[in-house]
Amino acid sequence: MAFDYKKEYKEFYMPKNKPAIVQIPKMQFAAVRGQGDPNDENGDYKKSISLLYGIAYTIKMSYKGSHKIDGFFEYVVPPLEGLWWQDDAADGIDYGRKADMRFVSMIRLPDFVQQADFDWAVEEATRKKKQDFSHAEFFTYEEGLCVQCMHIGRYDDEPATVAQMHRYMAENGYALDRTGERRHHEIYLSNPRKCTAEKLKAVIRQPVIRIEKDG
């Protein structure tokens, strides 16, 4: 049976719909950076999804071709994820200004995938699909300490879940820690084309730091 990251690492992909603190280890991804409204049909975000799935499935199916990857095992392609921010939004994301969004769109890669395997997949996908995959990158990300929660419902209703997470942080001695690549993080568990907006599931994750209390 194919290895399914969602089932094997439920603490990362299937949290409860109430906030909790979690330590996220280093992972590697196929990633594409961009900006703009994610709902724009001709925008960077929609294009990034096509690139990511092209590479992800090229690697997944590599065992059927001539390129052999050391340590390869069959697996289910992990869900689409995204890091989101706005350059001038110091205290979060203004959901009313989607045109100002910046993102890193990404799909997790198994640990057996090396840079050389990724480079091969970019070349192979470019050759087969006649599409430019050069914007994709091999991205290693060590997220560290985070607060996360399952969000169920419309993506535009995420601020209510984020507010719940922030209350939990304040009550339990944590503060946001958006430094470096540590950003607002979403993991999309539902296909919007096959699910009503009210039933969409997404993991929301934000980086935190423990606050030292005096005395």
- pLDDT, tens digit, for every residue of 26-73? 999 999 999 999 999 999 999 999 999 999 999 999 999 999 999 999
Please tell me the distance from the alpha carbon of residue 97 to that of residue 36, in angstroms, as a whole number: 9
Average pLDDT of the residues in 67-96: 91
Chain segment 93-121, per-residue pLDDT in tens: 888 899 999 999 999 999 999 999 999 99
Instruction: State how far the alpha carbon of 68 is from the alpha carbons of 21, 60, 61, 128, in Å.
Output: 38, 11, 10, 18
Q: Is 71 domain-assigned? A: yes
Structural domain total, the chain: 1
Q: Is 129 domain-assigned? A: yes
Q: Is 83 domain-assigned? A: yes
In contact, 11 and 185? CB cutoff 8 Å:
no
Amino acid at 166: H
Q: Which residues pair with 192 in a beta bridge?
A: none
* pLDDT surpasses 60 at 188: yes
Q: Is 5 domain-assigned? A: no
Q: Regarding beta strands 137-152 and 20-35, do their DSSP bridges make them parallel or antiparallel, or are they unpaired? A: antiparallel
Burial of 178 (0-12, 13-18, 19+ CB in 10 A): middle
What pLDDT score does 213 carry?
Answer: 65
Q: Is 1 domain-assigned? A: no
Q: Is 215 domain-assigned? A: no
Nearest by Cα to 163 from 83, 92, 64, 87: 92
pLDDT band at residue 90 using 50, 70 and 90 as cut-offs: low
What pLDDT score does 179 carry?
Answer: 84
Q: Is 163 domain-assigned? A: yes
Q: Which domain holds residue 201?
A: 12-210
What pLDDT score does 91 carry?
Answer: 61
Chain segment 121-179, per-residue pLDDT in tens: 999 999 999 999 999 999 999 999 999 999 999 999 999 999 999 999 999 999 999 88
CATH of the domain at 141: 3.20.80.10
